[in-house]
Every structure is written in structure tokens, then in C-alpha cells.
Amino acid sequence: MPSPPEQATGVAAALLLPLTDLVPAMAARCQMHPSTDRIGAELAIWSREMGLETPARAGFERMAGRAFAESGTDAAFLFAKWLTWLFHFDDEWDEKPAGRATEIVTAAFERLELIARARLRASSPVERAFEDLWKATAGRMSPPWRRRFLAGLAAQGAACRTEADNRCTGRVPSVAEYPALRRGTAGPYLFDLVEPCLGVEVPVELRETPTWQTLMDACNDVTAWCNDVASHHKERANGDVHNYVTVAATAFGLSDGDAVTWVNDRIAARSNDLRTATRRLPGLFDRFGISTGQARDLSRVACAFLAAPRAQLEWLLESSRYDVP
């Protein structure tokens, strides 16, 4: 029998529970990092120092604690800080008027790039938090990795500009275009951040293979679409159409319930892509002559991707982030 969540507070998030039957990997409860409570306390201190107003029950340390349950405390803490920053940054576009102004979106992303290149000083809490995290992260990685991160940031900016245009015109994205758009707004660099958290850098030749790209994209899709199901009621209340449930309901004339079922089926199929890509990795390690030690490190990165969907599911079920007053 699937392990029940520790608590299920949100009706919308509970709509994801059928996935525990559809996706075996999402049925077993995650391990929790033994230092999660301490990470949470330190995360609260860091958030206050940065000026980020984070609800007490946001629980980002618990998502990170599950995804990095068997890693060092530093890995889970760094990822928890990045999650905290990303969700604050994301709220700038989803819940505020700035999300309808392409010029504001463009300027915000341009400023982050300049901050990352040390050409501009941070001025807002979100910028200060980004600057702090970039300093803590970039020095661990090579110049190609840093360029990859900034390319992901630019991709997110382009996707957010598209959303802003859609909000202004009232356009609902099509079913065909939505997955790539959502992958962009989720922050492609979030999945690159697994590497510095674990102290591992994926070789360029491996990362550019279709298998590794599928591994990253499928993890992005599964977690983003799960987020859509959980946040659908809140985003609908805010009048935002950028949600896979809304997209499916509009495209196929479905009720909310049937649209949720349709999205859950897509999540299950994409979860299978994630597992299939993982099973192909040993063959790729052999093809590229990757040593046993390096293969072990790279497998840790892949395992974090595998753990992410269930880790996020448990977080969605216990977090207050998508509660509607």
C-alpha cells in the first residue's frame, strides 16, 4: 500500500494522490535529512537577513531535506536557500502587476545577469538573496557551468515575458506549446543547481546527450505539472491561465476534475520517461569511459532527480503555500 503523506492540508494538493497508484516511485515515503529542523532554523535566519518574508509553514527546508536526504547538511541547506529565493522571485510574476509588464520582466532578469557578472550591486531583498547565493555557488563550479546557469536564467526570462504578453491579451497557451513554456518558467537552472549542491559537475559530453537532457527535462516537467495541479485553485482565483489544468480544460472542454485527471496521466507518463532515462545511464558511463568513482558521483545527481517528484509531492501536501484564504 502507498505510504500516506504526513499531513494533507490542501484539497487541491490532495488531487495528486492518485499518482501514488500510477507511479510506483511516488508511492514510497521519502527519507528526511536528519538535520532538517536545524536547516529550517538557519534558513529562517538567512531569509530574515536577506529581507525575504517567508511564511513559517512554507517548508522549503523539508523539500530540500527529502531530495538530499542522504547528502551532507551543506547540500540540503544550499538547495533550500535556492528554493526559497526561486519561489519569492516567481511570486513577482505570478501574483503581482509586474507579471503583466514585459518591460519590468525584462529589466528584472537583466539586472540579475549583471549582478551575477559583478557589474551591478543588488538593491532589493530578492536581488540581495540572489547575489548571496550566486557568490556561494558559482565559485564551486567551472566557467562552462556558470554560463549554463546564466543561459537557464535567460530562458526563464524569455518564458516569463511570454506569460506577461499572454496575460495582457487574455490568451491561454495551447496544449502543444505549454510544456516548453512551463519548463522555462520553472527555472531550468534549478536542476543544474543539484550539481554544486553535491559538489559534482556533469561532463559536457554527457549532459548534451538526449538521455541526460530527458532526465533533466522530465524531472522539470513532473515537478512543474504537479505544482500546477496543487496551485490550480489559487491561480484560477488570481485570474492566471498559466496552469496545465487550465490549459487542458480550455483545449478539450473538460471539467476541472477531468482536466486534473488528464494532467495526472501526463505526469505519470513523464515519470516513466524519467525512470527510463535513468536506466540508460550505466551504458552512457561505459560509452564515455567514465570512471567508477565519477559514475558514482554522477549517479548521486541522477538520484536527486529521481527523488524530487515524491519529495515535492509530500511538500505540496503539507505546505501552506497554495492555501486560498
Residue 181: CB partners within 8 Å, gap ≥ 6?
A: 159, 162, 163, 173, 242
**Assigned domain for 61 exists:** yes
Q: Would 6 be classed as within a structural domain? A: no
- Whether 323 has a pLDDT exceeding 80, the answer reads no
In DSSP notation, 232-270 reads HHHHHHTT---SHHHHHHHHHT--HHHHHHHHHHHHHHH
Residue 170 confidence class, pLDDT cut points 50, 70, 90: confident
Residues 197-219 pLDDT 10s: 999 999 999 999 999 999 999 99
Tens digit of each residue's pLDDT (9 = 90 or more) over 58-75: 899 999 999 999 999 999
Residue 88 has pLDDT above 80, yes or no: yes
**Beta-carbon neighbour count of residue 52 at 10 Å?**
20
Looking at residue 5, its pLDDT comes to: 38
> Is residue 1 situated within a structural domain?
no
Q: Is residue 54 part of a domain?
A: yes
pLDDT of residue 10: 53
pTM of the model: 0.93
* CATH number of residue 220's parent domain: 1.10.600.10
User: What is the mean predicted confidence (pLDDT) over 27-37?
Assistant: 95
∠147-165-51 over CA atoms, to 5°?
Answer: 60
Per-residue pLDDT, 1:
34
Give the residue-averaged pLDDT of 131-145. 97
pLDDT attached to residue 56: 72
Position 106 confidence tier, pLDDT thresholds 50, 70, 90: very high
Angle at 16 between CA 170 and CA 320, to 5 degrees: 75
State the average pLDDT over residues 16-29.
94
Could you read off the pLDDT of 176-187 as tens digits, one per residue? 999 999 999 999
Assigned domain for 323 exists: no
The count of other CB atoms within 10 Å of the CB of residue 1 is 5
pLDDT in tens, 262-280: 999 999 999 999 999 999 9
For residue 247, being part of any structural domain is answered with yes
What is the pLDDT at residue 9? 45
pLDDT at 58: 86
Span 140-148, average pLDDT: 96
Range of the domain at 127: 11-28+37-318
Task: Name the domain count of the chain.
Answer: 1
Going by C-alpha positions, the residue among 133, 222, 240 that lies closest to residue 183 is: 222
In a domain, 272, yes or no: yes
Please provide the average confidence, as pLDDT, over all residues in the chain. 92
Q: Is 239 left (phi over 0), alpha (psi -120 to 50) or beta?
A: left
